[in-house]
Amino acid sequence: MQLKLKTLMQDKGIAQTDLAARCVYSPTVIAQLCNHAIWPRSAKQRRLHDTIRNFMKERGASESDLATMFEKVAPPLADGQGPDINIPYEEEAMSIPKQILHPNTRRHFGLVRNPFDEVRSSEEFYQNEHIRYTRAAMIDAAKRGGFIAVVGESGSGKTTLRRDMRERISREQLPIQIMMPYVIGMEENDTKGKTLKASHIAESIMRSIAPHATLHQSGDARFHQVEAALRESYDTGMRSVLLIEEAHSLPIPTLRHLKRFIELEDGFKSLLAVILLGQTELARKLDPRNASLREVVQRCELITLPPLGHYLEEYVAHRLALLEIDRKKIITDDGLQAISERLQPPAPRGHEQRSYLYPLAVHNLMIAAMNLAAENGAPVVSADIVMEVSWAR
């Protein structure tokens, strides 16, 4: 629903930015009011009501217009197809720019450093039931020679899981070696960039377990060479893991060729584990209905990293507790609710709601809101401040 005020302003040729300047509010707040009938919580609504009324009267609005302009109405129809639903924040939720916590903001909130910086140690690594399961599944696959694909939106925690796995192997001195093919410039076809082929994977394995060996030229001989090297490494007690990041960019033929690698065995012993980390496009490629990859899909456990959802408060509290800061001294309950609303925009008619409530997006929105609160001298981040954050540069 929107206010009649929006249509009245359009009829009078009045820009929302002009109204925002008169009311001393950000354009974002006025857009929320006009387009979605959302009044800023911090405002004395009667005072804002009177300011808008006087402004519109000066701009030529009639008494009948003034009497009805705060009524809620449905948005206008678009090509006769139904309401033209304006989805607030959907575009920004998909691509929130990186935010920097200003020094003044740190002083304002008494923070010695940015609590929403990248995870630097296992102690900082937040774990809920989904993360704990994925973390355990990755280590288990490495030990027994399993095949899993971890899928998630950008900023959902895939890289953190990879770092945690490598640190855990080192810390616990586990007999596991990780082989990671270089994926810089990797694309799913050779038109856009360079594809990662089975031969490149074989080279990566040999670099890790037999760095001084001369690779055979023919594909079949090279593959037997890789198998022999993996078997020799396995017999020494070492377990080998092929870990591929950005796996959503793997071409279909390479995904299909992974079957040969995961079938490298010595009796019942799997010589190589395979872990794929990729964005949601990887899940679509590994759809069971994709006949060309059916044999691969049947052998692969697909794990999808969900959004934080109801773990949002726990997550933010965890990050702040690392600096011994009480969450409520930084952001209010309704502020957290506003973050949830901004990162889970309503879906168009006939579509499923899509959530962007992932750690990286939460970090950027929290930092932007904290910077805004410090600029305005607000003691904590409230819902109004979260809603006023604008990504305009």
**Topology classification of domain 129-300:** Rossmann fold (3.40.50)
Structure tokens at 304: 């999808």
**Topology classification of domain 94-119+308-393:** Helicase, Ruva Protein; domain 3 (1.10.8)
CA distances from 259 to 79, 146, 151, 250, 280 (A): 50, 12, 19, 14, 21
Residue 71 DSSP symbol: S
Nearest to residue 176, comparing CAs of 188, 166, 184, 162?
Answer: 166
Give the predicted TM-score (pTM) of the model: 0.74
Residues (pLDDT < 50) of the chain are: 77-92, 393
Give one DSSP letter per residue of 319-357, joined into a string.
Answer: HHHTTT--GGGTB-HHHHHHHHHHTSPPPPTTS------
pLDDT value of residue 82: 42
Say if CB 178 and CB 245 are below 8 A apart.
no
Give one DSSP letter per residue of 157-204, joined into a string.
Answer: SHHHHHHHHHHHHHHTT-SEEEE----TTB-SSTTTSBPPPHHHHHHH
d(CA 259, CA 223) in angstroms, rounded, equals: 13
Say if CB 292 and CB 94 are below 8 A apart.
no
pLDDT value of residue 345: 77
Residue ranges covered by each domain of the chain: 1-86, 94-119+308-393, 129-300
pLDDT value of residue 198: 85
Tens of pLDDT along 212-232?
A: 888 887 777 888 999 999 999
Structure tokens at 211: 């760095």
pLDDT value of residue 78: 43
d(CA 274, CA 352) in angstroms, rounded, equals: 32
**Topology classification of domain 1-86:** 434 Repressor (Amino-terminal Domain) (1.10.260)
